[in-house]
Chain A
Amino acid sequence: MAGGAGLTSAPPLDRGIPDFLERPGPSPVHRLNPLTKATLATVTAVAAVALGGLVGPVVLVLVAVILPAAAAGVLGRLIRTSLLLALPIAVSAFLVNLFFFPDGRTVLVEVGPITATAEGFGFALEILARILAISGAVTLFYLTTRPAALVIDLERRGVSPRVGFVANASVQTVPAMVERAAQITAAQRARGLDTEGSVWRRIRGIVPIVGPVILGSIAEVEERTMALEARGFTRPGRRTLLWTPSDTTFERILRWGLVAALVGLIAVRVTGVLR
């Protein structure tokens, strides 16, 4: 019984730009040069530590993280991701400083042998503000920058393609490994591995799932390395870049300005002018 449907043809490309080239980002923040965003993230993170106190990092978070994230339309994702990223270290740092701050005098609460002090609480809030500033800055960069764009931009500026490839591959490996793990789980379940039963059964299932993920990744690294070598990846000299992210005079001035401001801030802190 032959089907009646005729020959199907490939759908037309919806845009004139091929998939492997960068498309303009959806917001001005997305469209900033990747190095500008990397500089902003680095300066924000280091400045939060250098500034210390509570007000400085909080203002930094508002100006350099929350406002740009809102402008880029990623505020919700930024809050979720950066909280997830910072939560384990933030909670432990908060509790340690709250209960074990060495100069704590004013007792707030006593829980058995440990005491929460007002001084410890204040310092814990300061630490929390710094951690949130760092995680927020890193997350904003991650949410608004394609790793490939950063790699290409760095390569254009003379950074070794190897460095760029390692950075890009590290980020791209995560979704690939998640996909691989899903395939492996399906294959092992098809051989009767019970991943839906008791906790003990699930623990027994870890090795058959994690084993192929790791072994396969190692084998893949070897194959990928050889494939890269075979296509002249380690050849010395400049490469032809089909596309590079835009960069403007304003952004160059902004980057140098941010770096200068950070150097100035650190100098002021080291010399003790700002207390």
Chain B
Amino acid sequence: MSNRLLLATFEHEDDLLAATTAVRKKGLHIVDAFTPYAVHGLDRAMGLRQSRLTWVCFICGITGALGMLWFEHWTASVSWPIDVGGKPWNSLPSDVPVAFEAAVLLGGFGSVFALFGVSRLYPGKRAHVIRPRITDDQFVLVIGETDAAFEVSVIERLLRDYNAVETEEQIDEGGRIR
């Protein structure tokens, strides 16, 4: 049996937030929410788990800093020792700026590419805009069927309390929303 999806369209950010909170409180499964801009507090209302991107950034940053420290040590005092201004070959203070930059560079790039990877974004990917106005002034909440409690008319009535301007039922075709 294929599951059903319910798409609810809202005109206002506050309606979307309130509806999302209410739908989640009912124990319904929220597939996704589409908004023209980042809506503060939506992640919490949807019950999304904490992003792990910060860990990617931290590990990349540490790798960049330590890797560059090692590389500077190797180039300046092992492979080809250079005397700069009479300083010892292995002078930590002179290594810090580059290690710092490498940490920032790797942390930044690591986070961005991890985000692209996780959200499957790549150059030339075709934009899949489920409703034209979600890039402009409308908000769409997608609710998925998980069990028999998914009674469309009941949910529609609930959503209308939160000023849903339109609701549409779809058959879930492998997570692709039309």
Q: Are A and B co-members of a single complex?
A: no
**Chain A interfacial positions (CB closer than 8 Å to B):** none
